Amino acid sequence: MAVDKKKRRRADDSSDSDTDGSKSLPHQKRLKADSLILSTLKTLAENTPSTSASKTLTLADLSLSATCREVADLSLSSVQSSIESLILSLAHSILSGRGFAFSVPSRSAANQLYVPELDRIVLKDKTSLRPYASVATVRKTTITTRILQLIHQLCMKNIHVTKRDLFYTDVKLFQDQTQSDTVLDDVSCILGCTRSSLNVIAAEKGVVVGRLIFSDNGDLIDCTKMGMGGKAIPPNIDRVGDMQSDALFILLVEKDAAYMRLAEDRFYNRFPCIIVTAKGQPDVATRLFLRKMKMELKLPVLALVDSDPYGLKILSVYGCGSKNMSYDSANLTTPDIKWLGVRPSDLDKYNIPEQCRLPMTEQDIKTGKDMLEEDFVKKNPGWVEELTLMVKTKQKAEIQALSSFGFQYLSEVYLPLKLQQKDWL
């Protein structure tokens, strides 16, 4: 009986119950006053380098052994002129009896290069011919010609269309939207312009909420008054201007569910911030918008992603660029994003229950090992350590695993404690 009492007393001593008997959330007692956490965030914001203070490095500033190509923002008249010059040269080729072919920059993995000085992936200068007089490439050459024709029409009319609109102009030829989307990127490379310069946009996907005011096509938008759903990120970045904010940081969230939780709890009022998500895979509009916020507002960016290889992959797309669109990485990447969570080491640190951890599949493990071989991962020892731990334990977890302690644990304990401890990589 005495032994039972001792056991009970020890259990009571180690519990998270407050002195008044009410049960607190795990690790909640470690939280300091919000004012102290805000002081930490102010220091982080003040120490974020300003792009105006030092000249931003570009490819032209580096003496790389490999020749690389990058695209630029071009005016509609420039895009129109480039298309007309290209078609004129093809017509000359046909009239001289040589037929015609497009010289298309290769976007294969072998033609990608990670540049540590820029901390992003760029496209090397290898090209391949896409001749019309070849059974293997005739269809893709036809699609390329059709896309060029449609882009020329957009330039003439000065209008924007979605990628879906573009696909439906010739469904029988394109057959599948992935084919028209792929050739659209090829056309950007051929013309040497950003995809935005082609006046083709993706459907609205990303959303933003919090301490941000900006103009959208002349309308003033206050993102603290957009409700729980937030403001849809405009697909055309040219519409966005006059950004103003009193935020101390930008919180980049992978999942819509975590974003909704933070928005409903108005986390941005407790800790002044801007919360943004692309609801999964980063789209071009969200990547452009995030970069614009970072560059104009000079704020640090902290990322909240799932603790799995794909969460880190998504983070790397925002920070270093995607291999698919490496030709435009200068405009699409946001430098110096810090990995706040959920990290593999957090699973034990925050005592995530076993039933909320998922076993990694063989494909997950392979993806994790492949990422360990990537130069942009090797550059960051903290990333290597976390990814190695993930592959070793063969465990992954979603942000929602934190809900096992309560639906508001993410906003009330986990994130405040992370910020307090400066626990980011």
Residue 131 has pLDDT above 80, yes or no: yes
- The token pair at 384 is 């290597």
CA distances from 391 to 168, 215, 304, 362 (A): 43, 45, 20, 10
Q: Are 63 and 296 in contact (CB under 8 A)?
A: no
319 backbone dihedrals φ, ψ, rounded to 5°: -85, -45
Q: What is the average pLDDT across 137-149?
A: 96
Q: What is the average pLDDT across 151-162?
A: 94
pLDDT classification of 65: cutoffs 50, 70, 90: low
378-410 core/surface letters (b: 16 or more CB in 10 A; e: else) = eebeebeebbebbbeeebbbbbbbbbebeebbb
- Residue with the bigger pLDDT between 23 and 287: it is 287
pLDDT in tens, 302-343: 999 999 999 999 999 999 999 889 999 999 999 899 999 899
Q: Are 369 and 363 in contact (CB under 8 A)?
A: no
Residue 288 has pLDDT above 60, yes or no: yes
Q: What is the average pLDDT across 97-122?
A: 91
Q: Could you tell me which residues are beta bridge partners of residue 116?
A: none
Q: How many CB atoms lie within 10 A of CB 253?
A: 25
Catalytic residue positions, numbered: 168
Return the axis-axis angle of helices 138-157 and 76-95, rounded to nearest 10°: 140
Average pLDDT, the chain: 90
Q: Are 285 and 233 in contact (CB under 8 A)?
A: yes
pLDDT in tens, 179-208: 999 999 999 999 999 998 999 988 889 999
